[in-house]
Structure 1
Amino acid sequence: MNCKQLNTVNLEEVLLSLGHLPKKQNEKEAWFLNPFATENQASFKLDKRQNIWYLYSEGVGGNNIDFLKKYFNYSINEILSWASEKNFSSFHQQAKIEKPNYQITEVAEIQNWNLKKYLYERGLSQRSFKFLKEIKFTINNKKLYAVGFENLSGGWELRNSFYKGSIVKKDISIIRNNSNQIFVFEGFTDAMSFIELEDIFDKDILVLNSISMLENAKKYLQNYTDIFLFMDNDNAGLKCKNDILLSFPEAKDCSKIYKKYKDFNEYFIAERHNLLAGSD
């Protein structure tokens, strides 16, 4: 599914899949409570004929892509991955399967200085490197390289100073140490930050790689007696955390540890800086 195809899906069906029901509607339009915040009066208008939305309480609107970007705080790739898992009835899958526009040309240990510099800037050291790879790839014949973190389906989360994306198949990642405890993170830099802080790393780690992978993650979480959640401190992270807590009420929310920061990596960088400054 691409952006143009996703925007043909009925937005009403998207809203229903996320648990949002209209407060009033007719043939032309439907009104919902604000999906992005708490409110008592419906100010979110869906134009059924044009399949666009407008939120009067905030003065913003747009198409399906605009809605999902604001709702989840996702990248375009993450939005398309989420939507492809939903099998919306209003989307008629094209018979022709498009050829991927990417190609992996090399998977190796991290040697490129620019990639090492990127990781150092995220507070990470050689201790994290064994969990990561240097990926050389092309997109539309453009040669690129990035830090790669592999998922369970053989796909890769890719990061460098100017690129954030994924190739092959989207999935969760798990680092196993045969523990009955599992620590859950949204992104791999958060997970690597946790590993950097551990004197002895002997826990299992699950990285969502995208909140759209939450249902996949739940299948693995049910195998653990202790679940520790390190979700981002934003709306998408809050929704994800609450969803997990509904399924696993005994899971422990650890976000208070870094409540002043967007995510665990940002907290880790700040704490590391404070420690280094204090040692001067």
Structure 2
Amino acid sequence: MNCKNIKQKILIRAVLESFNHFPVKENRKTAFYFALDREEKIPSLSVDFEKNQAFDFGTGRSYDVISIVQQINKCSVSDALKYLAQFAGISENASSKTPTTKGENHRITKVQEVWHPALADYLKSRKVFEQKELVREIHYEIGGKQGFGIGFENQSGGFEIRSTYSKICLGKKDITLIQLSTKSSEIVIFEGFFDYLTYRNLEKNKTPTCDYLILNSTSMLFRAEEILKNYNKICLFLDNDDNGKSSKMKIQNHCKYKTVEDCSLIYHDFKDLNEWWCSDKR
């Protein structure tokens, strides 16, 4: 595809999600995101899904999918096009003719238990195949292209989709709250659902005595603030990166009179809990 086609065909939402950027406020046609190049408390990046463009009210700069990649990766147009090539080939030979759910930019065609060999192998590569009943196999269509992946549902009915080839969210971005115990005073927080699956693997056959909160992105932390008021102890299994550390500080400041335990020390030499779990060095 040439630059003009890329700007029109590759969804700006998918590109932003690939960099872990998700809407803070959203309606059917537009959404507000936090800025690409700075930290802020009030989102200033307006994204028009119909025009497939973004505008930063803080700097007055407009973006398309190519310039977004350039801004975040600090790269040339040529390198940005190489990065965007992954979105032009998202197909994985999924097939289904009966739609079950429709969205503005996507269509979910099938939701079922995980059985496809490629997805089973993917779960095995992340060493969480034993927890496959906690996720679903999702077949979908985006821009006329079909794909499938491991799906993890959030509070708004959207699905986090992961596979060897894709990392996207279908539907509205949100947190996932899992309450397995009765009136638990303890909650365990994860940044992504593979860390949650890893933790359940570590628990093995133990009966859960706490609740679980998966942020599905640190940008969704604001949705958890009211929930955390209901717990006396908060255990954090966040990533060992700037976003994870920043989220830890925000939670600690928000919950000053509660017990907040940073469990990232367990995997301090690794990016996250799952990477540690998959390593031979643990």
Matching of residue 232 in structure 1 with residue 235 in structure 2: no
| Preserved contact between residue 195 and residue 201 of structure 1 (Cα < 8 Å) | no
Distance in 1 separating the partners of 2:39 and 2:123: 40
Matching of residue 17 in structure 1 with residue 21 in structure 2: no
2:144 maps to what in 1?
141
**Number of equivalenced pairs:** 208
Unmatched 5+ stretches in structure 1: 20-46, 53-61, 71-75, 77-98, 276-280
Quote how far apart the aligned CAs of 1:17 are: 2.7
Matching of residue 183 in structure 1 with residue 188 in structure 2: yes
Offset from partner CA, 1:114-168 (integer Å, 9 cap, x none):
0010000001122x11210000000111111100000011000000011110011
Distance in 2 separating the partners of 1:103 and 1:234: 33
Question: Structure 1 runs of 4+ off > 2 angstroms?
Answer: 1-4, 11-19, 47-52, 62-70
Matching of residue 264 in structure 1 with residue 269 in structure 2: no
Alpha-carbon RMSD across the aligned residues, in angstroms, is 3.5
| Bigger CA radius of gyration | 1
1:131 maps to what in 2?
134
Distance in 1 separating the partners of 2:114 and 2:218: 27
Quote how far apart the aligned CAs of 1:193 are: 0.3
Residue 174 of structure 2 aligns to which amino acid in structure 1?
D
2:119 maps to what in 1?
115
TM-score by length of 1: 0.65
Offset from partner CA, 1:191-243 (integer Å, 9 cap, x none):
10000001304021100001111010112111111100011001111111111
Distance in 2 separating the partners of 1:13 and 1:274: 35
Distance in 2 separating the partners of 1:51 and 1:146: 32
- Percent identical: 33
- Within 5 A, what are the aligned runs for 1:1-280? 2=12, 15=38, 17-18=40-41, 100-126=104-130, 128-178=131-181, 179-199=184-204, 200-202=206-208, 203-249=210-256, 250-270=259-279, 273=280
Distance in 2 separating the partners of 1:260 and 1:235: 14
| Preserved contact between residue 37 and residue 72 of structure 2 (Cα < 8 Å) | no
Distance in 2 separating the partners of 1:142 and 1:268: 34
| Preserved contact between residue 125 and residue 196 of structure 1 (Cα < 8 Å) | no
Unmatched 5+ stretches in structure 2: 1-10, 16-22, 24-31, 43-57, 75-83, 85-102
Residue 258 of structure 1 aligns to which amino acid in structure 2?
Y
| Preserved contact between residue 134 and residue 147 of structure 1 (Cα < 8 Å) | yes
